[in-house]
Amino acid sequence: MENSILIAAFYKFVPLPDCRELRQRLLERCLATAVRGTILLAPEGINATIAGERPSVEAVVSYLRDDPRLADLMVKESFHDSIPFGRMKVRLKREIVALKAPGVDPAKCVGDYIEPKDWNRHIVQDDVLLIDARNNYEVRMGSFPGARNPGTDSFHEIARYLADELDPNEHQRVAMFCTGGIRCEKATAFLLDRGFKEVCHLRGGILNYLEKIKPDESLWQGECFVFDERVSLDHGLQKGCIRICDDCKSVVKVTDEECLQCGSVNFL
């Protein structure tokens, strides 16, 4: 059946000192329900994208919500005609999203959330500095007009960019966005720790915006990269038509037989 597979993305910054013990129980639960995807666990929280039949995915989410620390776990849903993951992985990490900036704790301090319906009128204000918190190959697929690209290849590189290029006295209003919101949780917390006063980010990230905002009202340009076999999504969270060169990470259109940048025919 078309689009019968539920893809659930969720994260939460919350102390999980027992993440090592949680890992095996969670992996067993996922395998028992035939769910596939990736779940990252760290002392600072959980970050996951899983896929399967709705009853199976909901069983895993329900299992997690039985833990009082995860009872309010928010899940972003999208759909596909097959499971876009080859297997189920539950991994232990130092961070659920690696900024490598000790002391930054989004569970204690994070930027203000801007709802998708309010995002357009916020980012067009002249005194708002808009920053795309994603990596270069993601930005090349699509972004909001006027957004600064930090030029990173890995997320942790954004810490140096924010420290070197932004000044809390000069940049008094900063807005950030990323795919699902998790990277902005870390990045806005980093800015607040450095003395920035008015820092905000798009609630639920680009995916929430593409789901909630109609195409004729949208400021988004292009498609949004996702970390699974779908590669990119468009408005309504429908599978896009862009691929990524597996060799040089350039954007490749479905009509291209080879990468225009390096000539490779290996695409993601």
pLDDT band at 74 (very low <50, low <70, confident <90, very high): very high
Name the packing angle between helices 182-193 and 158-165 (round to 10°).
Answer: 40
Does the pLDDT value for residue 257 go beyond 90?
A: no
- Determine if residue 118 is left, alpha or beta; phi over 0 gives left, psi from -120 to 50 gives alpha, anything else beta: alpha
Tokens found for residue 40: 């990252």
Q: Which of 233, 111, 98 is nearest to 177 (CA)?
A: 111
Structural domain boundaries in the chain: 5-92, 112-212
pLDDT at 253: 66
Does the pLDDT value for residue 249 go beyond 80?
A: no
What class does CATH assign to 112-212? Answer: alpha beta
Name every residue whose Cβ is closer than 8 Å to that of residue 35 and which is 6 or more positions away in sequence. 50, 51, 52, 56, 57, 60, 88
Radius of gyration of the chain (CA): 19
pTM reported for the whole predicted model: 0.88
What mean pLDDT value characterizes the chain? 93
pLDDT at 120: 98
Correct CATH for 5-92 of 3.40.50.2020, 3.40.50.300, 3.90.1300.10, 3.30.70.100: 3.30.70.100
Name every residue whose Cβ is closer than 8 Å to that of residue 30 and which is 6 or more positions away in sequence. 36, 37, 39, 50, 60, 88, 90
> Among the options 19, 30, 109, 178, which is catalytic?
178
Share of the chain above pLDDT 90, in %: 83
pLDDT band at 152 (very low <50, low <70, confident <90, very high): very high
- pLDDT, tens digit, for every residue of 165-182? 999 999 999 999 999 999
- pLDDT, tens digit, for every residue of 185-233? 999 999 999 999 999 999 999 999 999 999 999 999 999 999 888 889 9
Q: Which of 90, 78, 68 is nearest to 19 (CA)?
A: 90
Tell me, yes or no, if 178 is annotated catalytic.
yes
- The two beta strands, 112-114 and 45-52, are unpaired
Does the pLDDT value for residue 104 go beyond 90?
A: yes
> Could you give the CA distance from residue 111 to residue 125 in angstroms, rounded to a whole number?
18
Does the pLDDT value for residue 267 go beyond 80?
A: no
